[in-house]
């Protein structure tokens, strides 16, 4: 029996001797999983921190310290007092706890843990479909680059973990394990409070529900109508999951947030690269296109049996990724089982009889040692952060506090809150849904493009200093203005102050 098949079965410690447990842990499919984990660490060790992660941490820290959930904006001087709720509060609390326990190394450990869980669950989900652990491994390895692009410290990783758990539960339900479906309501309870990707979960439920309503045998497309008892159970679980999603500090309000982002906040999403169509000129865009063409070619020539829910999920994922680059991991996850089933035609299955457990165990230990040596040091993590965020400029600001309001780039906005504390009011950060209604987002774009009215807009907000990236057009505008003076610069950022503000500060020091 394949260890991946027994991995989801309850294990009795008293009913299984240690030797049998060791044989499972040292099996070839487990070795393949260890290889995947090492690949995850190799990618994740670059330690990419999403700019929004910093303000997520700040929000989580404030929830832990005040034991209240925010309902109004308090971190900026441009949208202060505006209505705002923490849509991802549970993930933010998790991030804050991790930082409190381990700092940057804690964040790196969380990144590796979540990314590794995503890859292993993708491996297992692909196996459930094809029942061939070798084919599932190859398929996961092939889609791995599309997943790895998004391996950054961000609540969205938690969302993809919940997505995979949902897909696995649904697949096991379709294979006869009906009780496992009742795991979904608690999953959605956590998911809705963690990240907006829960909308994908309800989308997946809808696809499976529709496929269970019809009986289809049309060419390679198949669907089996579910018995009445299964349809009733599925509907009950779906309703329970929806009700569980209403159990939040804000009631059912979190359920409508993804819809608001797609409809009311188009002015925001159209300016963000992750919400724009996936460019086919970059390497992962080309890989995505190759997989889509492969899918079309296989369906037309080999005509494999495809379940209705599988076809719907792949087509939806293709459309979503073509429209929004951020949906690329969703495509990778739902495409992996199809790819594994295709590869299963030629890749021989795992044979437990011929397994070499001693060799596998040795290799697993070597992989674990390699992983331990690959794990980045604190100094390496700090250097990685310094490449993308104004760490040195923050040190300068601590030693030379600037009077009045400071304009900042949207990327480091959360980092400034994290490093300088919530007493430092930012111009803008990644919570664009707050700033757009106040006109701050549109003004920010005009200032940074820059617009002929950039200096006028800075005066409108009574800006006395500007901390901006070194390689930005606004640097040239400020440097050419007699009203502004550069007081600090490094390879990442530059700090400008109004000459009047500088004169006042100097006089105060005298």
Considering only residues 254 and 500, tell me which one the structure prediction assigns the higher pLDDT: 254
250 and 159 inside one domain: yes
What is the extent of the structural domain holding 130?
A: 28-352+362-366
Establish if 8 belongs to a structural domain. Answer: no
Establish if 22 belongs to a structural domain. Answer: no
CATH of the domain at 503: 3.40.50
Torsion of CA 505, 507, 509, 510, to 10 degrees: 170
Residue with tokens 């982002």: 261
Establish if 376 belongs to a structural domain. Answer: no
Establish if 9 belongs to a structural domain. Answer: no
In angstroms, the CA 399 to CA 402 distance is 10
324 and 405 inside one domain: no
Q: Supply the DSSP symbol for 83.
A: B
95 and 229 inside one domain: yes
Identify which of 203, 268, 202, 251 has the alpha carbon closest to the alpha carbon of residue 87. 251
**Structural domain ending residue among the three candidates 304, 335, 366:** 366
In angstroms, the CA 395 to CA 410 distance is 19
277-284: average pLDDT: 87
345 and 494 inside one domain: no
Inform me whether the pLDDT recorded for 502 exceeds 60: no
**Structural domain ending residue among the three candidates 366, 400, 424:** 366
In angstroms, the CA 200 to CA 23 distance is 37
111 and 49 inside one domain: yes
Inform me whether the pLDDT recorded for 99 exceeds 50: yes
Provide the pLDDT confidence category of residue 510 given band limits of 50, 70 and 90: very low
79 and 192 inside one domain: yes
**Structural domain ending residue among the three candidates 333, 366, 399:** 366
Establish if 3 belongs to a structural domain. Answer: no
Inform me whether the pLDDT recorded for 433 exceeds 90: no
Establish if 375 belongs to a structural domain. Answer: no
Considering only residues 429 and 1, tell me which one the structure prediction assigns the higher pLDDT: 429
In angstroms, the CA 166 to CA 188 distance is 9
In angstroms, the CA 386 to CA 353 distance is 52
418-445: average pLDDT: 90
pLDDT digits (tens, 9 = 90+) for 190-206: 999 999 999 999 999 99
Tokens of 87: 């849509």
82 and 186 inside one domain: yes
60 and 135 inside one domain: yes
323 and 400 inside one domain: no
Establish if 13 belongs to a structural domain. Answer: no
Establish if 167 belongs to a structural domain. Answer: yes
Domain count within the chain? 2
pLDDT digits (tens, 9 = 90+) for 60-91: 999 999 999 999 999 999 999 999 999 999 99
**Integer angstrom CA distances of residue 398 from 231, 338, 363, 421:** 62, 54, 49, 11
339 and 429 inside one domain: no
| First-residue to last-residue Cα distance in the chain | 81
Task: Provide, rounded to the nearest whole percent, the portion of the chain with pLDDT above 90.
Answer: 73
The packing angle between helices 156-174 and 184-192, to 10°, is: 160
Torsion of CA 269, 271, 272, 276, to 10 degrees: 80
453 and 324 inside one domain: no
Task: Provide, rounded to the nearest whole percent, the portion of the chain with pLDDT above 70.
Answer: 92
Identify which of 118, 127, 53, 60 has the alpha carbon closest to the alpha carbon of residue 89. 60
335 and 427 inside one domain: no
R_g (Cα) of the chain, nearest Å: 26
């Amino acid at each position: 029996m394949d260890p991946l098949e027994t991995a989801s079965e309850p294990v009795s410690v008293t009913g299984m001797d240690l030797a049998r447990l060791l044989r499972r842990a040292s099996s070839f499919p487990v070795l393949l999983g260890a290889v995947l984990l090492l690949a995850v660490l190799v990618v994740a060790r670059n330690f990419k921190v999403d700019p929004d992660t910093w303000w997520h941490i700040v929000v989580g820290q404030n929830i832990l310290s005040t034991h209240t959930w925010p309902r109004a904006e308090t971190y900026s001087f441009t949208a202060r007092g505006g209505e705002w709720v923490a849509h991802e509060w549970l993930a933010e609390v998790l991030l804050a706890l991790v930082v409190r326990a381990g700092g940057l190394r804690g964040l790196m450990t969380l990144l590796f843990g979540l990314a590794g869980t995503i890859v292993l669950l993708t491996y297992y989900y692909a196996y459930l479909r094809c029942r061939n652990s070798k084919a599932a491994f190859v398929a996961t390895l092939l889609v791995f680059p599309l997943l790895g692009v998004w391996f950054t410290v961000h609540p969205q990783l938690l969302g993809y973990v919940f997505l995979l758990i949902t897909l696995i539960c649904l697949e096991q339900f379709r294979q006869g394990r009906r009780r496992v479906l009742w795991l979904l309501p608690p999953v959605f309870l956590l998911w809705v409070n963690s990240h907006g990707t829960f909308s994908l979960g309800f989308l997946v439920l809808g696809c499976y529900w529709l496929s269970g309503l019809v009986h289809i045998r049309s060419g390679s497309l198949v669907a089996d109508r579910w018995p009445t008892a299964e349809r009733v159970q599925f509907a009950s679980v779906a309703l329970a999951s929806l009700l569980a999603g209403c159990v939040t500090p804000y009631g059912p309000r979190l359920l409508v947030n993804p819809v608001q982002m797609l409809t009311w906040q188009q002015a925001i999403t159209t300016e963000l690269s992750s919400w724009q169509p996936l460019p086919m000129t970059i390497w992962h865009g080309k890989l995505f296109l190759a997989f889509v063409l492969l899918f079309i070619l296989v369906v037309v020539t080999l005509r494999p049996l495809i379940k209705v829910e599988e076809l719907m999920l792949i087509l939806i994922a293709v459309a979503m990724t073509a429209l929004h680059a951020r949906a690329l991991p969703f495509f990778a996850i739902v495409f992996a089982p199809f790819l594994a089933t295709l590869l299963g035609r030629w890749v021989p299955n795992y044979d437990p009889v011929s397994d070499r457990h001693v060799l596998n165990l040795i290799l697993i230990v070597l992989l674990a040692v390699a992983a331990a040596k690959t794990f980045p040091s604190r100094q390496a993590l700090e250097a990685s952060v310094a490449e993308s965020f104004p760490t040195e400029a923050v040190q300068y600001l601590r030693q030379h506090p600037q009077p009045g309001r400071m304009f900042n780039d949207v990327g480091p906005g959360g980092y400034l809150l994290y490093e300088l504390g919530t007493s430092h009011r930012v111009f803008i950060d990644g919570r664009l849904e707050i700033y757009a209604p106040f006109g701050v987002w549109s003004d920010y774009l005009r200032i940074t493009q820059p617009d002929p009215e950039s200096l006028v807009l800075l005066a409108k907000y009574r800006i006395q200093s500007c901390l901006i990236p070194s390689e930005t057009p606004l640097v040239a505008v400020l440097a050419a203005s007699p009203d502004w003076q550069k007081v600090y610069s490094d390879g990442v950022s530059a700090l400008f102050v109004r000459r009047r503000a500088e004169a006042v500060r100097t006089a105060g020091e005298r």
